[in-house]
Amino acid sequence: MSFKWERMYKWEDNYEAQIIDDVRDVVKEYYDVEDEYDLTKEQIDDLAQFRDENEMSIMWVGFNSLINNWLEENEPI
């Protein structure tokens, strides 16, 4: 009988949500802002460079989420 992990996606969703929350907390503390949307374009560019330099990190998903949310809010298409 081969190994099965029923509903593994639920575990993955929980980990992803925790990573996103942790990245937001660290970024807000580092830049001393109340909200991620208070970041400047220069700070977002800095975070994007950091994200790109660490694309193999498990934390990448958190940086990507934060950056994309900021861009959607501040530079809508």
Write down the residue that tokens 């029923």 correspond to. 6
| Model pTM score | 0.89
CA–CA distance, 66 with 51 (Å, rounded to integer): 11
Show the low-confidence residues of the chain (pLDDT under 70).
Answer: 77
Half-sphere exposure of residue 51, counting CA atoms within 13 Å on the CB side? Answer: 18
pLDDT in tens, 13-33: 999 999 999 999 999 999 999
Determine the pLDDT at residue 75: 82
Judge whether 41 and 74 are in contact, CB under 8 Å: yes
Residue spans of the domains in the chain: they are 8-74
Closest to 39 (Cα-Cα) out of 77, 66, 18: 66
Determine the pLDDT at residue 77: 63
